[in-house]
Amino acid sequence: MTEREMLEAAARAMGWKDPEVHDMRGWGEVRYGLSEAVFAEEYGEYWNPRVSGEDSQMLAAFLRISVEHSPADEKRPWVCASVSTNIGSTQQFMEDVPDESQRADRMRLAILRCAAAQALAMGAETAENGSKTAGNGVDAGFHRGRGVAPKEQA
């Protein structure tokens, strides 16, 4: 799933109908260096939890996403975002932290992945057959990143 798709899914998880992602390059509207964002009429401005700590925390609070960090002496540092679903399971999305200067970025990415999975889970629960659909393009469980930004999958 691309960052753009995760952004759209996270906006749907926030309850925003038909989120419209805008390509910000060339618009002259730069906020936190973002290139794509959702203009949320409900929020009144551009929203991108991938690059904005404020937007990321709003997303985590709204969806009740918990964030946990590795102990300070961990040899391979990580950050984990998790959420309990209404069907009793827990989804976790863990990102490696290659350098402490990237901890906040990795945390925002884990929160965005978790929120995107929630939007897909919400959609799957409302499917006609009432069962969770497979092959939705998002890991439906534990994920450990490799310290790089997500890229389009082939």
Q: In angstroms, how far is CA 106 from the centroid of its own chain? A: 11
Would residue 99 count as lying in a domain?
A: yes
CB 107 within 8 A of CB 77: no
Q: What is the CATH number of the domain that holds 55?
A: 3.30.2120
Residue 144 contacts by C-beta under 8 Å, 6 or more apart in sequence? 78, 94, 95, 96
Would residue 7 count as lying in a domain?
A: yes
Would residue 145 count as lying in a domain?
A: no
Can you give the residue range of the structural domain that contains 16? Answer: 3-125
Would residue 90 count as lying in a domain?
A: yes
DSSP secondary structure code for residue 133 in this structure: P
Residue 92 contacts by C-beta under 8 Å, 6 or more apart in sequence? 80, 81, 82, 114, 141, 142, 143
Would residue 138 count as lying in a domain?
A: no
| pLDDT given at position 35 | 64
Mean pLDDT by groups of 10 residues along the chain of 154 residues = 86 80 55 63 75 92 95 95 80 94 96 90 51 37 41 36
> Domain tally for the chain?
1
